[in-house]
Amino acid sequence: MKNPFRQPEALWKISFPFKYAQLELFEEYFASLTDSVSSYELSSKTVESMDSDLWCFEAYLEERPDIEDLRSKLDGIGDIDASEVKLEKIEDIDWVAQMHEDFKPLRVGRFFVTNPAHAHLCPEDMEQIVIESSRAFGTGEHSTTKGCLEAMEALHNISPKIIFDIGTGTGILAIAATKLWPSAKVIGTDIEAVAVEISKQHAKDNGASIEFITTDTVPTGYKVDLIISNILKQPLIELSGTFAASLNPGGVVILSGFLDYQLEEVENAYLKVGLKRTSLINKDGWMALTVTRHHEETASSRRGDPWRDVS
């Protein structure tokens, strides 16, 4: 499986202005080239995004592309000025550490995610998660992390005994799980040993009891009540069978790290292994999908449906 957490030695940034109506076209094209894309508004006359609004698209590639060939292809995909497609080499620095340096505290539900420099700003009624600058993936600022935290809070009525955070990165979601379900056993996994070591330190700094394992899946022999996995579309699809087989009856899976136009492909993979949607959160086009295996006339269903849809 491709390692989604490896940092490249160099990056090339492609950027160009486009009309908002064509966002999905460019996201679909670059999905086959890279998982690192972003877009932002340049000008608009309304609060809500309109098809005619001018936006900027950015994509980050590990290898230098043929810019003339790329301009020609992009010109054929959407209505853009090919001469405005820019190529820029990104300096070789630790971008995650840089983002942490500039990171402002993040409020998501009951959680206040911050670095040590802003820890004193945490309100007394919020759960603080302190994350240091590091080389690991997952600062908490990304929309997928926000979506996962909201999806986890929406499960306040369940009582999982064993929780796995697959692709734990900096350990934010695993730490949040210990605060939401203090009596549960929480296990975080990551394909990168450095991420595991960083997550261990973060767990210690936050007073969280978490076991960390260097792997890309749920290890053989575990039966789990809740799986949280904020990685990428393709690994999520490949892991669908393993996740389903690892769940206890009534177990839940929260999936994130993919865009809205990739939702159908991810959801279908989990439908094939018997897991159905119970909740969906959209954060700036990034999805957090919650799935479970429903059982008719269980004791919990007679007491009332604990699930709620969020969109």
Show the 3-state SS of 127-167.
EEEECCCCCCCCCCCCHHHHHHHHHHHCCCCCCCCEEEEEC
Q: Within this chain, do residues 64 and 169 fall inside the same structural domain, yes or no?
A: no
224-230 and 162-166: which strand pairing?
parallel
Residue 108 is assigned to a structural domain of this protein: no
The CA-to-CA distance between both ends of the chain, in Å, stands at: 31
3-state secondary structure of 307: coil
Considering only 6-10, 38-42, 267-271, which range has the smallest mean pLDDT?
Answer: 6-10
Radius of gyration of the chain (CA): 20
Are 265 and 180 members of one domain? yes
More confident residue, 295 or 239: 239
Residue 50's pLDDT is 82
Inform me whether the pLDDT recorded for 138 exceeds 80. Answer: no
Q: Which CATH number covers residue 51? A: 3.30.70
Does 187 lie in the same domain as 54? no
Q: Output the pLDDT for position 240.
A: 97
In a 13 Å sphere around the CA of 87, the CA atoms on its Cβ side amount to: 14
Mean pLDDT of 165-191: 95
What is the mean pLDDT of the segment spanning 233-241?
Answer: 94
Residue 287 pLDDT: 93
* Rounded average pLDDT over 21-30: 90
pLDDT recorded at residue 11: 81
Same-domain status, 203 and 296:
yes
Whether 250 shows a pLDDT value over 60: the answer reads yes
Gap between the Cα atoms of 148 and 38, Å rounded: 19
Q: Residues near 143 by Cβ (< 8 Å), separated by ≥ 6?
A: 283, 284, 285, 286
Number of domains making up the chain? 2
Round to whole Å and give the CA distance between 267 and 260: 11
Q: Domain check: are 176 and 290 in the same one?
A: yes
Residues 78 and 163 in one domain: no
Residues 50 and 171 reside in one and the same domain? no
Q: Find the domain containing 223 and state its range.
A: 137-303
**10 falls in which pLDDT band (50, 70, 90)?**
low
Report the pLDDT value the prediction gives residue 31, as an integer from 0 to 100. Answer: 86
79 lies in the same domain as 158: no
* 157 and 292 co-located in one domain: yes
Please state the rounded mean pLDDT for residues 215-237.
92
| Residues 201/132, Cβ–Cβ less than 8 Å | yes
Pick the more confident residue, 66 or 115.
66
CA 298/CA 144 separation, integer angstroms = 32
Last residue of a domain, one of 32, 64, 90: 90
156 and 230: one domain?
A: yes
> Is residue 129 domain-resident?
no
In a domain, 211, yes or no: yes
Mean pLDDT of 85-112: 72
- pLDDT confidence of residue 79: 86
Q: What is the pLDDT of residue 98?
A: 55
**What is the mean pLDDT of the segment spanning 172-192?**
96
Query: Who has greater pLDDT, 161 or 135?
Result: 161
Last residue of a domain, one of 34, 56, 90: 90
Looking at the domain assignment, is residue 5 inside a domain? no
Per-residue pLDDT, averaged over 171-193, amounts to: 95
71: Cβ–Cβ under 8 A, 6 or more apart, which residues?
82, 83, 85
- Look at 104-113, 145-154, 257-266 and tell me which has the smallest mean pLDDT: 104-113
In the predicted model, is pLDDT for residue 113 greater than 70?
A: yes
The domain that holds 266 is classified in CATH as: 3.40.50.150
SS3 9: coil
Do 236 and 167 sit in the same domain of this protein? Answer: yes
Neighbours of 220 (CB within 10 A): 8
Q: Does residue 49 form part of some domain?
A: yes
In a domain, 72, yes or no: yes
